[in-house]
Chain A
Amino acid sequence: MSDIKKIKDEYLNKLDSDLNIESVNQIKTELFGKNGKISNSFKTLGSLPNDERKKFASDLNSIKDELQNKIVTKLQEIETKEINSKLKNEKVDVTLPEREFSLGKIHPVSQVIDEISSIFSEIGFSVEEGPDIENEHYNFTALNTPDNHPARDMHDTFYLDNNKELLLRTHTSPVQVRTMLNGKPPFKIIAPGRTYRSDSDQTHSPMFHQVEGLHIDKDINMGHLKGCLNYFIKSFFEVDKIKMRFRPSHFPFTEPSAEVDIGYEMKDGKIVIGEGDKWLEILGCGMVHPNVLKNVKVNPDKFQGYAFGIGIDRLGMLKYGINDLRAFFETDYRWLNHFGFDPLDVPSNYRGLSR
């Protein structure tokens, strides 16, 4: 017994010293190899008397376990140590730039169109579209603007043929005509899109964007028009209160017609919408003219309603502080990067219109 106790103490001692994997394995062999000290001790079991054998076997087994555990622990210790010292040499400079990524951008016009669609979606409007090329009838005549009407002069029209029959639409209003001709009332639509006028200076560009709105039902009156626009403007500019003014005006396709101004003030060179004592014209609207309804086969004695047209680019300029309309269409990478929106920033009513 004292022999094996000695072996145990001796090797536990050895294993506590600073060893490498090879020397631990050497110890393992010395103890448990074919002729190892512990293996040999087991071989002596058979020659012991019965009464001693049991005790000795038990002691021997516990010593074996103890030594084996010690070896395993020691090996793990050494491995961990070796890994740790290896890792010290593997240090990288994590302040180096990450792998390249590129961020795309959504154009402000697209973002604003999505914002507008989201707002009108809330109050039950759906989105319609129409062609960019129109004929004279849909763009003017059907909209109660006959050929001899001076209002035609207010639209500097791009023509595609010498008879002035084909043209680029000067407003989104022909979508009203197409929508009503192709369906039956009630109608509750908006129609955003490109529009064109042969006009080019600091505040006009030959192409711009409008959104048309149309709501026709049995008893839609000017109060609904006011309510709808009030709701829209408030939501769009994300303000609680808005100063709004309806002014009588004239458009051939609506009557009574109105232009809408919103209040603003200048703060630190920036426009603040909703307050102040200055007025800014932002849209035209009115009750759809009975002649237009007749032209699209809707009975004006049974149905009535309103229409409006809003300049999208201008709305975007006001909301996001963009000064120059022409820059919208000049594809300056710096401008797109500055005013563009993250594609994941999708305007919606549950996330909110904008960040």
Chain B
Amino acid sequence: MKFTIGWLKDHLDTKKKDNELIEKLTDIGLEVESFDKLSSDLDSFKVAKIINAEQHPNADRLRICDVDIGEQNTIKVVCGAPNAKKDLLTVYAGPGSIIPKNNMKLTVSKIRGVTSYGMLCSESELNLSEESEGITELKSSNYSDKIGKNFFKSKTEKVVDLSITPNRPDCLGVRGVARDLAAAGAGKLKKISLKNIKKNGSQKIKVSIIKDKNQGCNAFGSCLIEGVTNQESPHWLKEKIFSLGQKPISAIVDITNYVMLDLNRPLHAYDADKIDKEIIVRNSKKGETFKALDNKEYKLDDGMCVISDKSGVLGLGGIIGGTRSGTEINTKNVLLESAYFLPRSIRKTSKLLNIDTDAKFRFERGIDPRSIELGLSKAAELISEICGGKISNFDIQKTDRYEKNTIKFNVSLFEKITGFKVNDNEIVKILTELGFEVSKKNLELDLKIPTWRPDITQQIDIVEEIVRIKGYNNIETLEPEKTKIKDTLNKQQKLFHFLQRSIASKGYFETVTWSFTDSKINNLFRENLKEIKIVNPISSDLDVLRNSIFSNLTFYLKKNLDRGFKDISLFEIGPIFQDNQPGNQLTVIGAIKSGKVSRLNWNQKERPVDVFDVKKDAIQTLVEAGYDRKSLFIKDKSPSYYHPGKSGSVYLDKNDIEPIAYFGDIHPNIVKKLDIKTEGLLGFEIYLDYLKDNKLKLKDQKPNFEYSDYQKSERDFAFVVDKNFKAQDLMEIISSIDQNLIRSIKIFDIYEGENIPDGKKSIALNVTIQSSEKTLEESDLEKINKLIISTVETKSGAKIRS
């Protein structure tokens, strides 16, 4: 919403300064986006000073000038004027400027091999005089402190640009803004001055509204003005239209626009001679077409509110007129329309047809239905004044009476909501100035709501009116109370934060990527989850919600490899989506690692990252979070995007169905498809939703402290087992032999090859044996030794290696 302060003063009698008005507007909720002069072509001409002028190496008559234009650095300009000398004050035009004399647009150009940024102008080029011999010479007494400033003083008035919230259609007209300011004490709202126009005879073109259950128009006012001479608008009107950055078209069009901007009363002007007999306001039929003023042909659905005549659709009511009945400069007879269209209908139609116009914007938010006559009067008055013509009586067709709504307002609600008091008289005054009709009854106010305020329907709306006009600075700042209703974080949230920092502490960089991703990459990681398409994606390569975090992580890992990084560890903790229903999402940690360990290290051997690196990171994280390593169970099953032989899954318990984590090499096919070039690409995922939380508080989780001081003994074993036999099973067989005696098992070698039969491998392990009751004797140790060997051999088919 734009207007000039001058225009505002058409409606507001005020002595306030511009900046006071601007501040007030913001204070009462009419946010000022800007208060500036509209930029003009002449703004690019600056006062400048030649700092240095030297001979052009390739041209006798040219000089290269260093010019100070008030910026940090001087600018180089090639100039042919004989008077271009050091210390001269002159006028500089930058690239992009349009020279007034010949309308030439300047560009950065090379003149005989030297680049010139803009030009120094003669008086003739600036249309100041006929003087074209040299560049403009400015008096240093007047201009020496104006270097860098605009040479031409802008004649245009400053324009206020308000950002009007959708609840305030009334402030889409200058008068509404003036009313709010008046209520806030910034002046007095002037009366609308309507000259007594002469109306003669009835409006000859018949208007009818066809009733329908979803009709979009309930009131249609019209007036016929015959014998007009359409022409260019007079100066004052053109200035108003210009001041908003719009172009004047013709008096009739400019007047309808002016009334809309002034009173927020959209109008439409038809060339009456182009109307076939009569106006019918009705719902459209499917398939009807018409050509609108934006020169597009629209095909209508049924149920759209159209203004039509005997031959068909003339326009979409309240949205856009049609070319068939538009006014032109030679229009003789004008039919003015001032109607009320229902917001819901306007919104529906404009959305379906994708049309946005000033009228649509206003009707959609709600126009004062009782402003129909005012609009006709104001426009008819201006048209007859400027274009002459004979004004008919107004014809108002309506199917609704638009009575004012009423509210009972309990004054105590104001203090209850805002925390401060305003006395009743002041409340009455504020509301009255906003246009309410107020009558006081004990503690209640009976309010009749002005019809230009469709946003006001209940008591809380009245509280808002009073507090915003009174000023938000009256609200106290109360010290916050520290009482807690609930713990800040629940267990799951604590786990989230813990895991996040735990993983970062292992050298991973946390990233945050979109929840959406490229379906082509997503499909590589989707498994059997449903693809979730976004109907209106921001771009075609962000077209689905992610089913896995890996799609984005691999994508960005590749980007970082392209930047020259090699050994990368990234992770993200966030949602993945199972389908398109609210809540069907999982919180997952995805981590990914590339490159080598100890690359180019003087004392550590470098090697590609491998599955046991990520397994360690995953398991250590889980153990840090409080899950017992002894109960974690590893299986060699994992989703298909992992290397089938170098990946696994982690279960909280051997008997669980749902794994809590996966780890392993990313499948080489995927690495190839994504064209990722690195020595190793590994990843792991942890599913927070499957991590059962320990119901006990930490203080209740710790068992009693028990320990043994009796002597420990260690024994080494090497078993030859099938190649596919799992180390985890071997360790479990041994540890379950006697959990009181067998304290720990360490695998210290895996061997295949010479001396080991094909299809077999040797697992060497070290077992620590300790009793909590006594020091074990050699015979006890021998017994347990034998038991370990025989149990392993029977249960696993292994052979002890001798």
Contacts and interface: CB of A to CB of B under 8 A. Distances in A.
B631 to A, nearest CB: 26
Interface string B487-501: 111100100010011
B481 A151 contact: no
A238 interface: no
B724 interface: no
Contact of A231 (B480, B493, B536, B552): B480
Interface residues of B, number: 97
Classify the interface of chain B: helix, strand, loop or mixed: loop
Interface string A151-164: 10110001111101
A350 to B, nearest CB: 14
Given A287-B417, A331-B556, A333-B568, A255 B461 contact: yes
Contacts, number: 253
A72 interface: no
Contact of B585 (A123, A133, A246, A344): A133
Interface string A227-266: 1101100000000000000111110000111110000000
Contact of A102 (B507, B514, B516, B603): B507
B682 to A, nearest CB: 15
A137 B482 CA distance: 34
A69 interface: no
B706 to A, nearest CB: 32
B511 A331 contact: yes
A162 B535 CA distance: 7
A104 B488 contact: no
A99 B343 CA distance: 71
Given A249-B31, A329-B512, A224 B582 contact: no
Contacts of B227: none
Interface in A93-134: 96-97, 99-107, 109-110, 114, 117, 120-127, 129, 131-134
A74 interface: no
Given A256-B463, A333-B563, A138 B582 contact: yes
A151 B166 CA distance: 6
Given A99-B603, A131-B582, A133-B581, A256 B574 contact: no
A194 B574 contact: yes
A206 interface: yes
Interface stretch (B153-161, B466-474, B791-799): B466-474
B464 A255 contact: yes
Interface string A128-149: 0101111100100000000011
B542 interface: yes
A223 B476 CA distance: 5
B472 A246 contact: yes
Interface residues of A, number: 90
B17 interface: no
B505 interface: yes
Contact of A194 (B505, B575, B601): B575
Interface stretch (A17-25, A50-58, A335-343): A335-343
A149 B347 CA distance: 9
Nearest to B460: A255
B604 A304 contact: no
Given A100-B598, A104-B503, A127-B493, A249 B29 contact: yes
Interface string B532-552: 111111110010010000001
A296 interface: no
Contact of A328 (B493, B512, B537): B512
Nearest to B579: A133
A246 B481 contact: no
Interface of B: 26-29, 31, 165-168, 343-344, 347-348, 364-365, 416-420, 458, 460-461, 463-464, 467-468, 472-473, 475-490, 493, 497, 500-516, 532-539, 542, 545, 552, 556, 559-560, 563, 565, 568-570, 574-575, 577, 580-585, 598, 601-604
Given A246-B472, A329-B514, A331-B560, 14 more contacts: A99-B604, A101-B507, A103-B507, A120-B488, A123-B480, A133-B577, A133-B580, A150-B166, A158-B534, A168-B515, A206-B516, A256-B467, A331-B513, A343-B505
10 contacts: A104-B506, A124-B482, A124-B483, A158-B534, A161-B535, A166-B581, A194-B574, A223-B420, A256-B468, A328-B512
